[in-house]
Chains A and B, each alone.
Chain A
Amino acid sequence: MSSALLKDTWRTSVRNWKRFFSIVVITTLGVAVLTGIYAGCRDMLLSADRFYDAQGLFDIQVVSSAGLTDDDVTALSKVEGVQTVQAEMSASVNTDVAGTSKSATINRIGGQGLNKSYLQEGVLPSKSGQIAVTRQFIVDSGLHIGDTLDVTASDTDSSSGAASAQGEPVFPGSYTITAVVLDPSDIANPEGYSTGAFRSNDAESYAFFVSSSSMEGSLYTAISLRVSDAEQLDTFSDEYSAKVQQVVSRIEDSVAPERQRARERQLTAQVQEAQRQAAADSVSDATGRSSAEASDESLSIPTVQWHVQNRSSITTYSNLKSDLSSIESIGRAFPVVFLAVAILMSLTAMTRMVEEDRGLIGTYLGLGYGKIAIITRYVGFALAACLLGGVLGNIVGFVGIPVFLMQVLKGLYVIPDVSLSFDPAYGLGGVALFTVGVVVSTLLACRGETSLTPAQLMRPKSPKAGSRVFLERFTWVWGRMSFLNKVTVRNLFRFKSRLLMTVGGIAGCTALIVCGFAINDTVQTLGSKQYSDIDRYDLLSVAASDETAAAMKERLADDGKVKSSVEVRVGSAEMLNAEGNSESIQLIVVPDGQDIAPMVDLRPASQGLGRMFGFAKAPSERPRLTLGDDGILVAQSAANAMGISGNSTVSLRADGLDQQKVKVQAVFRNVIGSDVFISQSLYESSFGVKEAGFVTNAVMATLNGDEDSQISYAQRLVKSSDVASAISTADMERSFAFDLMSAVVALIVVLAGCLALVVLFTLASTNVSERVREMATLKVLGFTDREIHLYVNKEMLILTLLGTLLGLPLGRVVGGMLTGVLDMPGMFFEVEINWVSYVISAAATLFFAFIVQFSTNMVLNRIDPVGSLKSVE
């Protein structure tokens, strides 16, 4: 390029600052949306990964139904790919928390540096009688460092049989709290706002940590493993999962069966030994019977079952992963719209810029400058704008948005040392994507003009011909329209591409805003849908144990607060789909002959297109589901994420029972929680609990009194040591909030709003620039400023209204697709949009149009008729 051409390029760019600005802002927004949500999630995940690695969180953990021994540790350490092995010892205890007995687990701090607790305050326990507790416990109990903590061993473990008592941990009953720690396997923020409402476990358990001098024994609760070279990998990546899965398979295939049999033999030997002892003791009085009894008892030795778990078994790990992946999926869905709009707008802006320079291009070509040199002018202009936008977008995307998201995430999860990071592949890739889009549109814009001969170019371009519009055929309407309205209609149809761009651009932005509100409205209504419409009970009271169930029921009956009730059995369980993905659920066993309908409104889940576009039958018009004996009813909120539908087969692992396959009778409409209903007969036949005797341990009840009295009744109830949890649905409904999602929504609405503003601005300024002569002519004719504003704005207003009207249903459709995008366990996104949101979205768009109109008016006022009409266009 010659220096004269360079100089001219520079001047042109300065003159076209508005176009430059449009492209910069659109690219900034696009790159920010593309990278921001991703980067925020990635920063959080990387920080979590670093934290997990620093604390040596296990990659694999082996638990067994009959405890684990030193031989198991040795066997596991020999497995290929296993780096470190640590035997874990823990004990279930009860402790008094604010007047109620709560269950807790005392964990022995391991010797191999695995699963280290992160010290937040105090000194880690080193001597016997010292204990570290979690922040959650401090918050709930009101105790402090230095206070004394008493525990009593809970005698729940019955499944492992009498023999396993040998080698079980021995520990003191009283401790001094020396530290507050963060357990890497539970990073939920206890002081943050509650998001846990929809995924909290009814049976809450605290974790305590003691040094090895405080707990002795030879039987381990679990064995933690670290996999070689897994630490370098991102724990949330597929590579990591694959690497760990290899070792899991190796253990499951070879070590597990062998060690299970060995342990069974050992247990059998122990039982036989005990019997021999017993037989020897009673040999004098009943000689003949002992061998018969012994063979009888040996049958009762349970089969030993190992569970080889990976990190997914950690609740907060899975929650963090699913929370972030749901936001990330939003982050993936929206940039497409931004990219499309960016390409449309740069095409509009650059085409106009090249058109304006028509004569100039002719002159340059005439002077002998090559096409390439001329195209370079415009490509350079667009490229510079794009790159500047890209840099700004990366700053917003890798700093601004992550900082904002982390602020929200910090309320949910505690991860020490969260840090920002830049992902070159994503950051530069995003810029490249927009650059290619914009540059290609610029080349397209240039193609038209540069292919003409200089002579053609120097002649004015024939203005877009006017033509009759279809409306004129309706003479009745046309004849009644005022002159200026006719002009407006003509102009609308004259600039067809502008009509499409404007309507399309505005519809897109309105749809984005509607979408944002859709997420918000959906989250807002989920609570009332679940706790008022679906759950008809007011109280779910779960007994502390099967033994206290009777006392709890008696208490409920005596208090006289209960209107009607249904007794059920509630327990936590794991549900696995055909692919082996697991999810924790709440298993509700309905006693035979009981009708659950008065307590839970079971309706079939909506499916397919009707669900997406919001025209599915209202739930109350669908036929009610009744629980049968050959299949379970699964909550839609649990089924959706796992791809479970009616007639699927799933595996259930109820607490303390072996994993069993069951058929799914149907999926019922449920938006929060992971409830699975099973009939007593199916429960008994599947899990073989008939002999043990079926007991109900929970009561669903409707209550007298208003919501406040119901909530306080539940609070009083839970203080009883007979009651593990008493959930008031009124309380749940009130406390349900999903701040993370609301934050993302706010982000999207703001970004979409900015986009709408830039789109309107670009279109309006292109419109004015295309029609400067027309406006100048009107000025010469003596049109006042107001009349000219009206002349131009009427068109823009009509297009904006059309775009907005189109954008509202479009937003509903795109919003409906979010159901599929946001699949997280324990939550079903039944998209719901309040009419107020439509109004606000439309009003916001129109407000933006108004702002842009205002700036357009300024531009119109500045048009100088003398200067504008001097030359040929």
Chain B
Amino acid sequence: MSYIQFDHVVKEYPSGEESIRALDDASFTADKGGLTIILGASGAGKTTALNILGGMDTLSSGTVKVDGRDISGLSRKEQTLYRRSDIGFVFQFYNLVASLTALENVELASQICPDHFDPRETLEKVGLGNRLDNFPSQLSGGEQQRVAIARAIAKRPKLLLCDEPTGALDYVTGKQILQLLQDISQREGMTVVIITHNTAISAMADKVIHFRSGRVYNSTDNPRPLPVAEIEW
């Protein structure tokens, strides 16, 4: 049984008389501790799928199970608690709280989770051990994204979900971030899902899932993922 089971999920957005099907009977699975990459054109339903997986959105029909737990019928409140204990999110925009230092941004997440990593060590892990007391405005884009990742993983989540984490970064910095995510998956054994539309980087993943018009049209396992440093695009 897979760690993540996304089973015949339909997500409809009401839009006037008709409704938009963001997800149209999408199904996939992913294994514990693996790095999964979701690929697809813009509007294919990737974000929708990730949001449902992360307990940020509800689905119209189908089932979603994470670690054996069915999360498709969670109430708003249960969703919140699910996000709190099980999910770490990383977005294209880093969404750091500007009035808090790097360390405090991580603490913001860790202090609501009883079972968390030490914020300081987490920041050291992402390579920002010497920037603990800097405010977001004093950090570069890549550094800010590292803080965001540290904040996401400090909660010791079951899933680390990243929606286009390198979308706003330059090539080199983006690569470093991806390397970091791969390291987290491999060293910490954390289950990581990354959305991207850069097909080239799929070589770094354990599993690649292709979305098209709300459906999963291809899902391939990659027995030998490459280190990010060896991938060029």
Residues of A within 8 A of B (CB): 460, 462-467, 483-484, 486-487, 490-491, 494, 773-774, 776-785, 787, 865-866, 869, 872
6 closest pairs, A vs B, by CB? Answer: A782-B84, A466-B99, A465-B137, A782-B83, A463-B98, A466-B135
Residues of B within 8 A of A (CB): 51, 54, 56-57, 77, 80-85, 87, 89, 91, 93, 95-101, 104, 107-109, 111-113, 135-138, 151, 155
Of the A-B pairs whose beta carbons lie under 8 Å apart in the complex, a sample of 25, sorted by A's number, is A462-B137, A463-B98, A465-B98, A465-B136, A466-B100, A467-B135, A483-B108, A487-B100, A487-B108, A490-B99, A491-B99, A776-B95, A777-B95, A777-B96, A778-B108, A779-B83, A782-B81, A782-B82, A782-B85, A782-B87, A782-B113, A783-B112, A785-B80, A866-B56, A872-B93
Return chain A residues, CB-CB under 8 Å to B108: 483, 487, 778, 781
Q: When A463-B136, A465-B137, A773-B95 are in contact, do A780 and B83 touch as well, CB less than 8 Å? A: yes
Return chain A residues, CB-CB under 8 Å to B54: 780
Contact present for A782 and B98 (CB under 8 Å): no
In the assembly, what is the distance between CA of A781 and CA of B83, in Å?
A: 6
Contact present for B95 and A466 (CB under 8 Å): no
Q: Given contacts A466-B136, A865-B56, could you give 4 more A-B pairs where the C-beta distance is less than 8 Å?
A: A464-B99, A465-B138, A466-B99, A781-B155
In the assembly, what is the distance between CA of A259 and CA of B112, in Å?
A: 99
Partner of B137, one of A466, A776, A785, A872: A466
Q: When A466-B136, A784-B77 are in contact, do A483 and B98 touch as well, CB less than 8 Å? A: no
Return chain B residues, CB-CB under 8 Å to A869: 91, 93, 95
In the assembly, what is the distance between CA of A470 and CA of B197, in Å?
A: 46
Partner of A781, one of B99, B100, B109, B136: B109
In the assembly, what is the distance between CA of A464 and CA of B99, in Å?
A: 8
Contact present for A780 and B89 (CB under 8 Å): yes
Contact present for A466 and B98 (CB under 8 Å): yes
Return chain B residues, CB-CB under 8 Å to A778: 108
In the assembly, what is the distance between CA of A779 and CA of B108, in Å?
A: 12
Name the residue of chain A whose CB is nearest to the CB of B97: A774
Return chain B residues, CB-CB under 8 Å to A467: 135
Return chain A residues, CB-CB under 8 Å to B151: 781
Contact present for B83 and A487 (CB under 8 Å): no
Return chain A residues, CB-CB under 8 Å to B96: 777
Contact present for A487 and B104 (CB under 8 Å): yes
Return chain A residues, CB-CB under 8 Å to B87: 782
Name the residue of chain B whose CB is nearest to the CB of A494: B99
Return chain B residues, CB-CB under 8 Å to A464: 98-99
Name the residue of chain A whose CB is nearest to the CB of B81: A782
Name the residue of chain A whose CB is nearest to the CB of B85: A782
In the assembly, what is the distance between CA of A777 and CA of B93, in Å?
A: 11
In the assembly, what is the distance between CA of A778 and CA of B99, in Å?
A: 14
In the assembly, what is the distance between CA of A866 and CA of B54, in Å?
A: 11
In the assembly, what is the distance between CA of A484 and CA of B107, in Å?
A: 10
Smallest distance from the beta carbon of B57 to chain A beta carbons, Å? Answer: 6
Smallest distance from the beta carbon of B168 to chain A beta carbons, Å? Answer: 9
Smallest distance from the beta carbon of A221 to chain B beta carbons, Å? Answer: 82
Return chain B residues, CB-CB under 8 Å to A781: 83-84, 89, 108-109, 112, 151, 155
In the assembly, what is the distance between CA of A774 and CA of B89, in Å?
A: 14
Most buried by A among B87, B98, B104: B98
Smallest distance from the beta carbon of A669 to chain B beta carbons, Å? Answer: 55
In the assembly, what is the distance between CA of A487 and CA of B104, in Å?
A: 8
Smallest distance from the beta carbon of A459 to chain B beta carbons, Å? Answer: 11
Q: When A466-B99, A467-B135, A869-B93 are in contact, do A486 and B104 touch as well, CB less than 8 Å? A: yes
In the assembly, what is the distance between CA of A781 and CA of B151, in Å?
A: 9
Smallest distance from the beta carbon of B129 to chain A beta carbons, Å? Answer: 20
In the assembly, what is the distance between CA of A347 and CA of B107, in Å?
A: 35
Q: When A466-B135, A865-B56 are in contact, do A490 and B91 touch as well, CB less than 8 Å? A: no
Name the residue of chain B whose CB is nearest to the CB of A788: B80
Q: When A466-B137, A782-B87 are in contact, do A483 and B80 touch as well, CB less than 8 Å? A: no
Return chain B residues, CB-CB under 8 Å to A486: 104
Q: When A462-B137, A466-B135, A865-B56 are in contact, do A494 and B83 touch as well, CB less than 8 Å? A: no
Name the residue of chain B whose CB is nearest to the CB of A871: B93
Return chain B residues, CB-CB under 8 Å to A483: 104, 107-108, 111
Contact present for B135 and A787 (CB under 8 Å): no
Name the residue of chain B whose CB is nearest to the CB of A783: B112
Contact present for B97 and A777 (CB under 8 Å): yes
Contact present for B100 and A490 (CB under 8 Å): yes
Return chain B residues, CB-CB under 8 Å to A494: 98-99
In the assembly, what is the distance between CA of A774 and CA of B100, in Å?
A: 11
Return chain B residues, CB-CB under 8 Å to A787: 112
Return chain B residues, CB-CB under 8 Å to A490: 99-100, 104
Contact present for B80 and A782 (CB under 8 Å): yes
Partner of A465, one of B85, B112, B135: B135
Smallest distance from the beta carbon of B131 to chain A beta carbons, Å? Answer: 14
Return chain A residues, CB-CB under 8 Å to B77: 784
